[in-house]
Amino acid sequence: MSDKTAFHEALVDLTAQLAGKPLDAALAQLLNTAHGPTSATYERLREACIQGAREGWLCEREGGGIRYGRVFKPEDALHRFSVDVVDMQNIAGPHHTHPQGEIDLIMPLEGEALFDGHPAGWCVYPPGSAHHPTVARGRALVLYLLPEGQIQFTR
C-alpha cells in the first residue's frame, strides 16, 4: 500500500464487513479473529499508517503530546465511518464519549504498548461509552473508526 488512495481502498473493504453490525464484544472478537495482528489486513493497515505518518498525511496535527488527525470524514464509500489515526506514547488523551461507539485498531510501535490495557489488535467500545484513551508501556498508532464521525469531548 503506497498512498492515501490505497489506504482508503483497504478501509472500504474493511468497513463493508462492519456495516450494520452492533459495536460490541462480539464484533471485537470477529475483528481479532479475521483481522488480528497475524493477518494480512492488520499488516497492510499498520504499514500504511506508519508510512502515512512518515509522509505527513497521517497524524499531521499535534496537541498535548499526541499526534493525531482525521484522515477521512464519514462517507458512503466508508459505510459512514470516519477514520482518525493517533500516535501516542505513554500518555492519556482527552476524555470523550462515543455516541454511536468506536472501533480501534491498536498498532504498537515501541515497547509492549497497550491501549486502554489492550495489546495489538482490535478493541470495540459500544454506543454511549466513554474513556480517557491511554497508551502505556510504549508507543502505538491507533486507528479509530467512528460511526458518522461522532465523538464528544468532555471538559
Query: Residue 7, SS3?
Result: helix
Cβ neighbours for 120, distance < 8 A, ≥ 6 positions apart: 36, 37, 42, 106, 107, 108
Residue 2 pLDDT exceeds 70: no
| CB-neighbour burial class of residue 62 (10 A; exposed 0-12, middle 13-18, buried 19+) | exposed
Query: How confident is the model at residue 28, as a pLDDT?
Result: 98
What average pLDDT does the structure give for the chain? 96
Query: For residue 75, what is its C-alpha cell?
Result: 462517507
Distance (Å, whole) CA 63 – CA 48:
22
Distances (CA, A) of 53 to 19, 57, 151, 153, 155: 27, 6, 22, 24, 28
For 23-73, what is the HEC assignment? CCHHHHHHHHHHHCCCCHHHHHHHHHHHHHHHHCCCCCEEECCEEEEEEEC
- pTM equals 0.96
In this structure, the strands spanning 66-72 and 81-92 are: antiparallel
Query: How confident is the model at residue 3, as a pLDDT?
Result: 87
Residue 1 pLDDT exceeds 70: no
Query: How confident is the model at residue 134, as a pLDDT?
Result: 97
Output phi, psi for 58, to 5 deg.
Answer: -125, 150
